[in-house]
Amino acid sequence: MAKRKTLAANTVETRDVPTPPGYPSEVKILGQTYRIIYRTPLVFPDGSGLQGMVTGRDRTILIDPSLPPHMIRETILHEIAHVYLTHSGFESKYEKAKLVEIFCDMFGSAVDDLTQNNDWPTRR
Ligand SMILES: [Zn+2]
């Protein structure tokens, strides 16, 4: 989960919007397809906001599409990093640690930087 500033109201109405042009509506991670839903604003029931979250059980990634473009990309990658960390066993070991969020932020910005600024080879 990528955190965001707390919103004032706790009765915020959210809505799902169409996949923004150029962004994925699904992503394959470790052979499993995860749906990406763009929801704005993205909030917890208590009204606190977040940039994104992933639920492994129903293989869904929620992203706030009101973020600037680079933050949408990085947040999607951040949530994907959670899946890899969970798969590796790292996330359950450090479940409450900020280390997980720091790592996911690093993964998101690193992969985005790498792929945005390089002609990255694709599998043939
Ligand atoms: Zn996170």
Confidence at 5, pLDDT banded by 50, 70, 90: low
Report pLDDT for 9.
Answer: 47
Question: How much distance in Å is there from the Cα of 21 to the middle of ligand 1?
Answer: 24
Higher pLDDT pick, 47 / 12:
47
Report pLDDT for 3.
Answer: 66
Domains of the chain: 15-117 (1.10.10)
* 11 pLDDT above the threshold of 70: no
Report pLDDT for 2.
Answer: 72
Confidence at 14, pLDDT banded by 50, 70, 90: confident
Residue-wise pLDDT for 103-118, tens only, equals: 999 999 999 999 999 9
Question: How much distance in Å is there from the Cα of 105 to the middle of ligand 1?
Answer: 7
Question: How much distance in Å is there from the Cα of 122 to the middle of ligand 1?
Answer: 27
Residue-wise pLDDT for 42-100, tens only, equals: 988 788 889 999 999 999 999 999 999 999 999 999 999 999 999 988 877 766 678 88
pTM equals: 0.84
What single string gives the DSSP state of each residue in the chain? -EEEEEPS-SS---EEEPPPTTS-SEEEETTEEEEEEEEES-B-TTSEEEEEEEETTTTEEEE-TTS-HHHHHHHHHHHHHHHHHHHHTHHHHTTT-HHHHHHHHHHHHHHHHHHHSS------
